[in-house]
Every structure is written in C-alpha cells, then in structure tokens.
Amino acid sequence: MKNTLAHQAPFQFPNGGLVKNRLVMAPMTTSAGFYDGSVSDDLVEYYKARAGTIGTIIVECCFVDNLGPAFPGALAIDNDRMIPGLARIARAIKSKGSKAILQIYHGGRMVEPELIGGKTPIAPSAVAAPREGAVIPREMSAEEVDMMITKFGDAVSRAMKAGYDGVEIHGANTYLIQQFFSPHSNRRNDKWGGSRENRANFPLEILKITQKMAQYYEKHNFIIGYRFSPEEIEEPGIRFEDTLYLLDKLAEQGLDYVHFSMGHYLRNSLINKEDATPLITRYIKERSETLAKIPVIGVGSVVNLGEVNEALAHGYDLIAAGKACIVYPDWADKLAEEVKLELTMESGQRIALKVPEPLWRFSLVDALIREAEPTVKHYKMGVFEEKVELEAQKLKISVELSTDRITDVMMEIDDTLDIDFTETFEEIRNRILVANSPWVDAVAGATAQSEALKKAVSRAMTQSTKEHILATGGNLNELQHFDVVVIGSGGAGLAAAIQAHDDGAKVLIIEKMPTIGGNTIKASVGMNAAESIFQKIKGIKDDRTLFYQETLKGGKFINNQKLLHSFIQDTPIAIDWLADKGIELSDITITGGMSIDRTHRPADRSAVGGYLISGLLKNVVSRGIEVMLDTEVVDISYENDTPSAVKIKDDKGEISTLKAKSVVVATGGFSANAKMVEQYKPELKGFVTTNHPGATGCGIKLLTEIGADTIDLEQIQIHPTVEQKTSYLISESIRGGGAILVNHFGHRFCNEMDTRDHVSQCIISLPQKNAWIIFDDQVRLNNKASEEYIEQGLAIVADSLIDLAHKINIEESALEQTLKRYNQWVSKGKDEEFGRETALRYQLEQAPFYAILIAPGIHHTMGGVVINQEGSVLDKTRYPIRGVFAAGEVTGGVHGANRIGGNAIADIIVFGIRAGSQAAHYAQNKR
C-alpha cells in the first residue's frame, strides 16, 4: 500500500502539465447558473473557497450548444458571451494555486424539452431514454453531427480564452458523447453508427478537435481528460470490454487522463453482480500497454485519508472527491490533520460554506444537512391569484408557492392573447422559476408583458408572506428590521445594496416605480474611467489627472473639486468591481469633452444601461436581497439623532413602517418634474425629457425635510440629440463613433464632439431649432445602440447619399459637399473647419446612410443634495447627517455646470459602492 503521504506528492501529466498533488475536486452539478447559462457570484465564491491546497478543481459541466443543458441552472459555453463569467471562476481557482479544468458536454436525449424552450432534444438516433416520461429525441443529421464536433471545438477555444488549464470531455452519465458510443441510443447505419468501431468515431473526433485547438493556440501543457461510465445497464448497452476498447483508441490518439464516473471508487460490475472484483482492478489488469501510460482518476465515496490511500493502492493515480469538498472546502487540509471526517452539515452553514442555494437544495446535498432550517419560513404554501393590467387587458396569474420557493407560475389563457405573448410568458416564467425570484431580466421586445408578470408574482409573494405570518401566530404590525434601506433601484441603488450586503448588512431595496432600473436602464453611451485594466489591454494611455482636468473644464470649474478628485480616482476600481461581478465593460469609445477613449461599454457595443441593470440585478437576486416595488418612502424617522425607521406607502395607499439603522437615498434627479425644472431654469419650459417618469426629485425633497443642504439645483443639462416625438435619446456613442450633425441646408455647424451644453446651444441657435444626425453603415455596425433607433423607425434609411438628401429634403449637392469636406478632415485626423479632433474614425461613405431628426431635451440635473467623499449627506452647516447616505443624480457637486457624457454611470457606481459600504458599517456599529 502506498504511504499516507502519497497523495501530497506532485503529479505530472503526459503532456508535461504539473499539479501540486494527486487530489482533485470532482465536477459536480450545482444548478447555480443563471437562466441563460451565465455564471453567478455565488459560483465564483464556491469554487474560490475550495481552491488552494487541493491540486486540481474540475469545474462542473458546461453545455456546448443551446440544445444541450441537461438540468436547470446549467452553465453554458455555447457562445463568447460566456467567456468572461467562466474566466472569473478560472481566475478564482488559479489565484489560490490550484489547476482549473473545465468539463464540457451536451445532454443529448437526456435534455428535458422545457429546458430548451419546448423543442425536441437531439440524439444519435430517435430512441428515447429508458426512463419514465422520456421523450423520443430527434435523430441528428450527418451535417448536424459535423457541426456538433465543431461546437465542441469552439467550446475548447472558449475554455482556453477563459484561462483554464485544461478541459475534461464528458463522455459519461448517458450524455450525448456516451449516447454515440452506446448500442442502445445509437442505431445509425452511417459512419457514426452500426459497428463498435463506427460508434467510437464521435468521441474520437471530439478528442481530435480538442487537440487541434490546443495546437492552434500553442497550449502545449493544456490538460485533456476524458470522463467515462464503465458500463450501461441498458440492453443492448455498453459493457466493460467496450469501454476498454474505446479508452484504448483514445489513448492511442493521446490523452492526459481518464476519469471513472462511479458512485464508489471500488465498485464492481453492474451487469455481472456475482463478480465482486472492483472494476478498477479489472481495468488495471486488462488495459493495454498504451492505456497503461494514461493516468486514471478515481472517484466515489472518497472522504477520509484511509479511502484516499486505499484508492491509490488499487491503482488510481489521482483521487477525486465530490461531497467531501462541499462539506469541507478545505478538504485537502483536513486530510493532513488525519481526523475522522463526517459527511454532515449544520442547517445554518450554507453561507459560511459558500454553497450556492440551488446546490444546497439538491437532494444529494440535502441529505447531508443535519436538520431542517430552524428559521421562519417565508411563504404560506398554496396558490395565490393576482390580476394585472396589460395593454387594456386584465391578466389572471396564479403563483404556486412552497414554504420557500416559487414552484410554478400559471396564466389563464384566452382567445385575446396572441401567440407571441404566450411565448413571452413561457420565457419569463422559466426565468422566474430558475432564479426563484421575480427580479429577472425582461424578455427582449416584450418589456411591458415581462414587467406585468413579474409584478403579479411579486404581489403573490407579498400576500403569501402576510398569510404565513398570520397562520403562525405572528403580528402583521410587528416591524420588520433592516440594517440598510436603499431607496431607489437604479444603478446607484443596486450597487449600494450589493456592497452593503457584501459588507455584512441585511438590506432592503425600496422602489416607487413598478419596475427596477430607474433612469440607468435608459443609459446608452457608457462609463468613463481612466487608467482602467481594459484601457491598458487595448494600449490606451490615459491618466486620472487629465480626466480630472477635462471634467472640471466641462463643468465650467464650479465642480466640488475634492469630490471630483475622489470620484476620478475610484473610476478604474469601479470598473474592476463590476467585472468581478460578471459585468465587463471592455469595449471603449469616446464622448464630447474628452480627448481620450475612456468611455467603457459592453463588448458587443450595445447600450450600457440595460446591460448594467441586468448584471446588477443578477447579483441582487443571487444574494437574496429583498426588493419592494410600487412603494414610496414618505418619511425617515429619527431617534437619538440617528435613523430608526422609514415610513412607506404602497400602491394601494397603505402606510406602514420598517425599522432601519441606516439609509441610502439613490432616487435620481428631477428631469421629469416639469414644475421643478421650470422653477430652477425657466428657459427650459416646454422641453421634452429623456428621463423615465420616476425622476421627479422625490429624494431631494425627502432629504431636505431632514435638514440636508443642496447645491447647483439650477444646473440642468440638456442633451443635444433627442428625437422629439418619442423623447428617445440618440446616444453620444453615435457621434463618438463618427457621426456628424447637419442643418436643414445640409451644412455642418459645430464641433459635434464639444460638450453637451455647447452642442445643444448651437442647435437651439438654428432657425428650425433642430438638426439631422447623419451616419453611414460603418458607424452603425460599430455601435449596436443604433440598431434600436432603426428598429423603432426613428432613422431615415437610404441606399445612397443622394437618396438620403431627397428623403430629408436637403439639396443633394450641399450634403455631398459636406461629407466630402468632412471625409477630408478624417483623412487628415483634424477638422480644420470646426476644430473637431476626436472621433474622426471613418470616412462617411459606406451605404446605406442614416439620418435622425434631433433637438435638445432635458437630460440630467447636476444639482442635488450635498455629500462628502464617503457619500454621507451633509446638513446646512456641511456636517454629516448621521446614518444617511446618498449616491447618483440625487446628489450634486461632482459634475458642476455640465455633465460629461459617460460620467453619470461612473458616478452612480463609484458613489453607490461607497454609500452602500458606509451605510453597512454605520449599521453594524449600532448593533
């Protein structure tokens, strides 16, 4: 028998890859991904907590194709959007010194139709799995088989880009690769089926394309493993001799390890139960010389040091543990202590052990929990009906709840509902059930329907909670207690809530509107930051001093300079904070008033607002932060000169009170309050606003009532490019992408990249007080936000410049001459006519051409309550009001007399993080 320290010895794979020891964390389904297969914060923390002493972590299987998820909450690697999230897991593991290997798979016929939008699963042949309720899959065509191999190759490429040290090809657990090798599921008669040799072609081709990817990227030490189930109980099915044949063929082609998939490391045959010989013993005895050179991983019921040593003695080269790593994140350290380990967990240990909630509720893990949750359950079990109005219809929604989960959402169907709406319902229903929360992304193109359904579920949960309190003898009038109450659910509010939670506070978000997102969700251009990691990656040389100077100049030098300097310093940190939470703003453009590309936006160059809110909301849901919609805070109460409670009013007019130790106000500005705008800047009477209806200044009123001071309320920004009929803001990224402005004579009239106030004034000075923004298809292709303007019918489209001139009633020769002169300036890199020196990206010459009629609209209120660098609200003596913090457009001082495009998103994230952290620490000091 190998000695007790054998598992601690370093191990080298055939390709030269070295791991610190022979211990492996087995790939285990957590069901903790988001509805779209992306990575949650909980998963990153889960893997990070288990990395370190253990040599290798094999991350749970990721599906390579959108028809491949075999279980809810599965992770995806089917498109490039998944790379950043998966990279977070790889970085978390590798930062602790462990190797990170990613398992890739396709569920094939084991996929449930409801997981893939009701579609029929695919498989080698149209043979249902031998289990109750299994559907008959659709047989893959030869072309689809070839494409599937390519998709596995693409997945390997993404794993490399995400920074993994290797991949494990999942050829076990009756998933697609095993289905191709199985005579039960593969009844084909082409080169992919029939004989055992042909059935082996698919897994061999998967290995081949994996190896090609490693060679292409010159990843010479990239570890390639293969997971296998040694037998099938089906008849006909895979037998042990078949498995040895396949593994031998794989070994001849080149592998770094093979990995048994069994419930016990010394399991004997499932087929010949009279033979008590462990399969690993048979494997060692019967394998070929070629296969004997390939390391083998054993798994199943390995917990204590004795089992590790026994497994090594039987011939396994590496030992993988699953449940032991869940119960003991430091399992490798525990082995060194040589103490007896028990596979049990206390019911209150989930957070301490950093186990994602879906995994905690998985039956195999649930069996390890010593006792049921002793805390009060959230809901009363039953079905709760709610009616919501949608487009002149009243929808009847039924929500089924268990004691702590949403188990179903149902809608009463009638003839007035079109098929598109019923499809929307199914999509949003699935998202809600997977997240166990109504706070999920709206379905694209169906925002109103999505919000109506989410509202119905939220109401049902509220009603069920009330009934539970009554049924258990509770008192509805007994006040709920929170450490931090965040008022407002835009970017600043969500960032504050996330940070406060992560700093140990019990948090509640209160939003007066029926939807989450505030004004942030309408943001389009991006987030400014200097000296960010993404600028460095792209070779953009920037410095925070220059950013400070340009923002101060843009604000006409009336900015609070201490506040501004502090804000600028933290912008790259805020970019990192977002990236750490799966919200990467890695593409970079420029806005008016800036001299360097520092406006960060999503990699696909889409509008920043929806992407940001979606990402923040996922983080809110994964943390279980409570949210109240349709609820207005009408008063903040004080006891002993410190916050004690907030008084709220719901959409039914009912007043109630919540206990609070600190408050963060993030309610936005007052651009949608016409009377307030006119009060402070009369000349803006009658201007349209780009803001959402909730931007009424309620937070400013709330805070001034408790003594807050205000600053710069008269500083109200108008945005130069607003479509007037719809109040749609045409993003600054369009001009930053190369567009120009022309008057009704077809002439340019200003530097389009000047600050917003200057460009707006130039437009107002025109006789018509409006202008055309002109761009070509090259600008459109590099600015995804433009697609929405075109889809909404805001843009006039023409196949030629002459045709465009006719459509917008401009003399064609004048427009042609204007673009000719502009294109000359682009070639020179300097606009000698109006002094434009930035965003001279492309000559406008690629058809089709686009024009949108625009004029200024009220966009941002620079003034608000006074805060200090920590986000504390200051009174009229400029002394902090204890326990009250604010962030975002409700505050003043950062932007001065004019806000630079891209600084609002930076403002809400930087000060949202600060306010949330300060509020949490204040509340904790009151405990």
The token pair at 157 is: 């490429």
Which residues, listed in sequence order, are joined to residue 401 by a DSSP beta bridge?
A: 382, 406
User: Which token pair is 269?
Assistant: 């045959």
The interaxial angle of helices 561-580 and 544-554, nearest 10 deg, is 120
Residues with Cβ within 8 Å of residue 925, at least 6 apart in sequence: none
Span between the terminal Cα atoms of the chain, in Å: 56
Distance CA 671, CA 678 (A): 10
Residues 6 or more apart whose CB falls under 8 angstroms from that of 854 comprise: 720, 721, 722, 723, 724, 730, 741, 763, 770, 771, 772, 773
Torsion of CA 343, 349, 353, 357, to 10 degrees: 100
What's the alpha-carbon Rg for the chain, to the nearest Å? 30
- Looking at residue 816, its amino acid is E
For tokens 């310093």, name the residue.
569
Q: Which residue has the tokens 């008959």?
A: 136
User: Could you tell me if 54 and 7 are in contact, meaning their C-beta atoms sit under 8 angstroms apart?
Assistant: no
Angstrom distances, CA of residue 370 to CA of 1, 327, 329, 343, 517: 35, 12, 18, 10, 40
Tell me the backbone φ, ψ of residue 373, rounded to 5 degrees.
-55, 125
Residue 636: count other Cβ atoms within 10 Å of its Cβ. 22
Closest CA to 700 of 682, 677, 733: 677
Q: How many helices (H) and strands (E) does the chain have?
A: 31, 36
Active-site annotation holds for 756: yes
Q: Does residue 7 contact residue 21 with C-beta atoms inside 8 Å?
A: yes
Retrieve residue 643's tokens.
Answer: 């916050």
For 472, which DSSP code? T
Judge contact between 107 and 175, C-beta under 8 A: yes
Q: How far, in Å, CA of 804 to CA of 815, rounded?
A: 9
Cα(534)–Cα(543) distance, rounded to whole angstroms? 13
Residues whose CB falls within 8 Å of the CB of residue 29, separated by 6 or more in sequence, listed in order: 60, 61, 71, 74, 359, 362
Active-site hit among 429, 601, 735, 756: 756
Spatial contact of 362 and 29, defined as CB atoms under 8 Å apart: yes
Q: Exposure string (b/e) for 294-313, b if CB count within 10 Å is 16 or more?
A: bbbbbbbbbbbbebbbbbbe
Crossing angle of helices 561-580 and 903-925, in 10° steps, is 90
Do residues 851 and 796 make contact, with C-beta atoms less than 8 angstroms apart? yes
Residue type, 67: L
- Neighbouring CB atoms inside 10 A of 897's CB total 19
For residue 785, what are the CA distances in angstroms to 517, 592, 740? 18, 17, 16
Closest residue by Cα to residue 104 from 161, 166, 48, 50:
166
Half-sphere exposure (CA, 13 Å, Cβ side) for 124? 29
Q: What are phi and psi of 394, to 5 degrees?
A: -105, 115
644 neighbors 706 (Cβ within 8 angstroms): no
Rama region for 205: left / alpha / beta (φ>0; ψ in -120 to 50; rest): alpha
In the structure encoding, which two tokens stand for residue 184, read together?
Answer: 């039960």
Q: What is the dihedral of CA 266, 270, 273, 275, to 10 degrees?
A: -50
In eight-state DSSP terms, residue 369 is B
Catalytic residues: 756
